[in-house]
Amino acid sequence: MRDTPYKQLEARFNRVSLISQARGFLHWDQSTMMPPGGAESRAEQLAALQAVEHGILTDPRTADLIAEAREGKADLDPWQQANLEEMTRLWTHASALDEKLVTQLSRAASECEMVWRKARPAGDFPMVLPRLRRLLELIRQAAEATGEHLGLDPYDALLDAYEPGVRTAGIDAVFADLEAFLPGFLAQVMERQKTAPAVVRPEGTFPAETQRALGLKLMETVGFDFDHGRLDISLHPFCGGTPDDVRITTRYNEADFTSSLIGVLHETGHALYDRGLPKMWRGQPVGDARGMAVHESQSLLIEMQVCRSRAFLEFAAPLMREAFGASGPAWEADNLYRLYTWVEPGLIRVNADEVTYPAHVILRYRLEKQLIEGGMEVGDLPEAWNEGMKALLGTVPTTDAGGCLQDIHWYDGAWGYFPTYTLGAIMAAQFFDAAKQADAAIGPGIAKGDFAPLMAWLRQNVHGQGSRFPSGDLLVQATGRPLDAEVFKAHLSRRYLEGE
């Protein structure tokens, strides 16, 4: 007997998933292992795999099967129905773009990124402007085409690719809330910091091997499964691989161990999400991570909510002292806590603290929305950037290297991605708050390095849900409330005004 249309779709999407997994490992290899001379052929291998995936998704037979399967949707169980919804969504996104535009976009992004790599250190925005203009033109074409297919405005169509279901209207509301709250709050925090004891930086040489050993130990504490994952080195830290083989990276600065260590814990949060995705649905769209905002919520939950907390640092401080054979005021838990929660407005997003980070995201969100909607010319970006920085954080970069050239996203084609950072931070606060309310053992567990209660809650309420629900529904089911900034603001107040 012939498989049902739904079963045939499962086979097709499983193949797409497996090829995409292969692509994931080639990306990981490119960032961690590949010798420089492999770059050109690697780009071709990746493009070929992507073309095969696009070919399966846009094959006319896939469209037929989706139509047929949707007619029989009532016969499917709830997970299958959700899977069919995700298949439909992926198919809609893929079929909105013809192969020519996909290829042009991929090439324009590679070319723009290559020029950006030189323009950034030189602070030379005009150098990259022609490439960026061309790339943006193609991104706008793609956003319009996708928007038409989905019945969305172009910018919402871009957002939907990173975090399905998230729309400008929802973002505007929470960002307005944050923008009203943060300036006054920041002033209070800065005032309070003036009277606090000075932060003492641990000094010394911290060998990469020792940093690595400590990182591995804390990864294990949090719950990383080394039978199904690795820790390696790359220039830009990331989490890659697949749920059964999750690979995170870091880089070591031998003069300062603190940034690598917290980065490793951040990536561990991403890794635990991937590892906890529903095993029954491996290789199917409904078994994938929900989106980039939920993904970031899991890394920030581990990094910001848990590992920068006083309770965790009291547990971790002796391990740090032991690892480096160090002692003294810099190594006391209270000092490490103040170091890891120090607030200071700056120019660079990736160095920003938890309090000022949203301002960096809000700036990028507004600018990219205007550029996509056509309300601004891309040549005016540096000026608009600097004005925005002045208004939001009261500081202006001296060159574009510290301004609109600092992040790779726009230059390699990731438009509509930035909001997921702050949405993730807000969700992280909501998830962690709900988890602690649901299980009183979570807080005391963390204080003694026992993450099992927290993981049990996350597995059940977030990781194990895969893509079964849109992130808005996932959040309501797990926490009892929709996305809003209240819990995040309360967390900031407790940590930065009360020192909790």
How many residues form the binding site for a second copy (CB under 8 A)? 39
Q: Which residues pair with residue 232 across a beta bridge?
A: 249
Separation CA 142–CA 159 (nearest Å): 12
Closest CA to 104 of 74, 82, 137: 137
Spatial neighbors of 224 by CB under 8 A, at least 6 apart, are: 246, 268, 271, 272, 275
Which residues are known catalytic residues?
267
Contact 153, 166 (CB under 8 A): no
Is there binding between residue 216 and a second copy (CB under 8 A)? no
Chosen residue from 113, 245, 314, 450 binding a second copy by CB under 8 A: 245
What sign does the dihedral 166-167-172-177 (CA atoms) show?
negative
Q: Which is nearer to a second copy, 19 or 150 (CB)?
A: 19
Rounded to a whole number of angstroms, the minimum distance from the CB of residue 228 to a second copy is: 4
Report whether 290 contacts 431 (CB < 8 A): no
Among 52, 152, 233, 326, binds a second copy (CB under 8 A): 52
Per CB under 8 A, 439 contacts a second copy? no
Structure tokens at 157: 């169509």
Kindly state whether residue 49 participates in binding a second copy, applying the rule CB under 8 A: yes
Give Cβ neighbours of residue 371 (< 8 Å, ≥ 6 apart).
136, 378, 381, 415
Considering the rule CB under 8 A, would residue 209 count as an interface residue with a second copy? no
User: Binding to a second copy by residue 41, rule CB under 8 A?
Assistant: yes
Which of 4, 8, 26, 408 binds a second copy (CB under 8 A)? It is 26
- Gap between the Cα atoms of 167 and 288, Å rounded: 21
Residue from 59, 179, 220, 225 touching a second copy (CB under 8 A): that is 225
Closest distance of CB 114 from a second copy, Å: 18
Q: Is 409 in the site for a second copy (CB under 8 A)?
A: no
54/308 with CB nearer a second copy: 54
Among 35, 60, 197, 325, binds a second copy (CB under 8 A): 35
Q: Is 44 in the site for a second copy (CB under 8 A)?
A: yes
Q: Counting contacts by CB under 8 A, is residue 59 touching a second copy?
A: no
In whole angstroms, how close is the CB of 23 to a second copy at the nearest point? 8
Whose tokens are 């438009």? That residue is 415
Interface with a second copy, residue 22, by CB under 8 A? yes
State the amino acid at position 277 in one-letter form: L
Residue 276 CB, nearest approach to a second copy (Å): 14
Q: Does 19 bind a second copy (CB under 8 A)?
A: yes
Residue type, 317: A
Dist CA 30 CA 35 (whole Å): 8
- Residues 249-308 touching a second copy, rule: CB under 8 A, are 282-283
Nearer to a second copy, 232 or 373 (CB): 232
Residue 352 is which amino acid?
Answer: A
Q: Per residue in 175-194, is it b (16+ CB within 10 Å) or e — as a string?
A: bebbeebbeebbeebeeebe
| Shortest spacing between CB 35 and a second copy, in angstroms | 6
What does the alpha-carbon distance between residue 97 and residue 303 come to, in Å, rounded to a whole number? 37
Q: Please report, for residues 131, 158, 369, 471, the alpha-carbon distance to residue 377 in angstroms, rounded to integers and kept in the order given.
A: 14, 19, 12, 33
| Closest CB 386 distance from a second copy, rounded Å | 40
**Quick one: which of 27, 70, 192, 228 contacts a second copy (CB under 8 A)?**
228
- Does position 40 interact with a second copy (CB under 8 A)? The reply is yes
Residue whose structure tokens are 């797409």: 16
Q: Match 């994952």 to its residue by tokens.
A: 229
What is the three-class DSSP state of 466? Answer: coil
**Of 47 and 101, which has the nearer Cβ to a second copy?**
47
Indicate whether 51 belongs to the interface with a second copy (CB under 8 A): yes
Taking the CA atoms of 184, 186, 190 and 192 in sequence, report the sign of the dihedral they define. Answer: positive
Nearer Cβ to a second copy (36/60): 36
The answer to whether residue 42 forms part of the interface with a second copy (CB under 8 A) is: yes
Contact (Cβ atoms closer than 8 angstroms) between residue 240 and residue 247: yes
Q: Specify whether the backbone of 233 is left (phi greater than 0), alpha (psi in -120 to 50) or beta.
A: beta
Q: Which is nearer to a second copy, 28 or 421 (CB)?
A: 28
498 binds a second copy (CB under 8 A): no
In the complex with a second copy, the residue whose CB is nearer, 216 or 438, is 216
Distance CA 488, CA 303 (A): 14
- Residue span binding a second copy (CB under 8 A) among the ranges 31-39, 144-152, 206-214, 431-439: 31-39
Task: For a second copy, give the closer residue by CB, 4 or 45.
Answer: 45
Instruction: Pick the piece of the chain touching a second copy (CB under 8 A) from 46-54, 163-171, 185-193, 339-347.
Output: 46-54
Segment 141 to 170, residues that bind a second copy, using CB under 8 A = none
Q: Is 38 in the site for a second copy (CB under 8 A)?
A: yes
Residues that bind a second copy (CB under 8 A): 14-15, 18-19, 21-23, 25-26, 29, 33-38, 40-42, 44-45, 47-49, 51-52, 225-230, 241-245, 282-283
